[in-house]
Amino acid sequence: MDTVLAVEALYKRYGAALAVAGITFRVGRNEIVGLLGPNGAGKTTTINMILGVLEPTSGSIRIEGRDVTTDRSRALACTNFTAVYATLPGNLTVEQNLRFFGMIYDVRQLSDRIAELLVQFDLKTFRNVKCGLLSSGEQTRVQLAKALLNRPHLLLLDEPTASLDPSAAREIRAIIRELTARDGVGVLWTSHNMYEVQDVCDRALFLSHGHILLEGDPKTLPREHGKATLEELFIAVAREPLTLSLE
């Protein structure tokens, strides 16, 4: 597998509490990996360490072979993210937001790149509208456009469809699938929607209390563990992590 993200023996300790307890995983090019787990499992902590926002207690994170701790700016130059809690400034228009972030990411030929993304995400009519006035679905499309400004090789999507109606969510999944297949992007995707995970993810990691307990194809994992659906498996992992980890 051509690896975009390599996480090795990653730990994060907050005082006495271990939020991430020695996880190792990879995300390949053209691959969408689901990071699943109950509330408090350690998903956001993991994503924040990959983004260089939080310092790991120990372990290593490499993006395209570059270490996030020792070669931070080069590792993060080919990375981007969206998260429901990281909304774009609502008083800036769609275009102003894309220009602002494009300058931060030092995007070359920024006007051309913005024009491309406005078309790709069907945002041309909203170009001069303040982001705070857009619907949740429209804001998600702007967030994705922002996340693609620097043509990332690694995309971290923290619940990208959380506030979307089923039709808008399907549209976003189709866009992400297409760019993963076409542009060689690797995606780490967190979601609490098991239907979505089966629909969009090539592989899923189940995190519980900071450990990866299960890993595999979300379409076949339930059967492999004697469950009818991914949701049943999720609930079993969340309730009985020790039993499942020993199976």
Q: Give yes or no for residue 14 binding ligand ATP (CB under 6 A).
A: yes
- Pick the binder of ligand ATP from 40, 90, 132, 226 (CB under 6 A): 40
Q: Give yes or no for residue 226 binding ligand ATP (CB under 6 A).
A: no
Q: Give yes or no for residue 42 binding ligand ATP (CB under 6 A).
A: yes
How many Cα neighbours within 13 Å face the side chain of 227?
16
The secondary structure of residue 20, as a DSSP letter, is E
Give the residue among 33, 14, 30, 13 at the shortest CA–CA distance from 22. 13
Q: Give yes or no for residue 53 binding ligand ATP (CB under 6 A).
A: no
Amino acid at 102: G
- The residue range among 34-42, 65-73, 142-150, 163-171 that interacts with ligand ATP, by the rule CB under 6 A, is 34-42
- The residue range among 12-20, 101-109, 120-128, 194-202 that interacts with ligand ATP, by the rule CB under 6 A, is 12-20
Q: Give yes or no for residue 37 binding ligand ATP (CB under 6 A).
A: yes
Token pair recorded at residue 60:
């290593």
Q: Give yes or no for residue 167 binding ligand ATP (CB under 6 A).
A: no
Alpha-carbon dihedral angle through residues 169, 142, 40, 9, given to the nearest 10 degrees: 110
# of chain residues touching ligand ATP (CB under 6 A): 11
Pick 50 or 175: Cβ nearer ligand ATP: 50
Give dist(CA 59, CA 6) in Å, integer.
Answer: 11
Q: Give yes or no for residue 39 binding ligand ATP (CB under 6 A).
A: yes
Pick 41 or 118: Cβ nearer ligand ATP: 41
Residues ≥6 apart with Cβ < 8 Å to 33: 25, 27, 186, 187, 188, 189, 201, 202, 203, 204, 205
Pick 43 or 173: Cβ nearer ligand ATP: 43
Cβ 97 vs Cβ 146: under 8 Å: yes
- Pick the binder of ligand ATP from 4, 5, 43, 173 (CB under 6 A): 43
Interacting residues with ligand ATP (CB under 6 A): 14, 17, 19, 37, 39-45
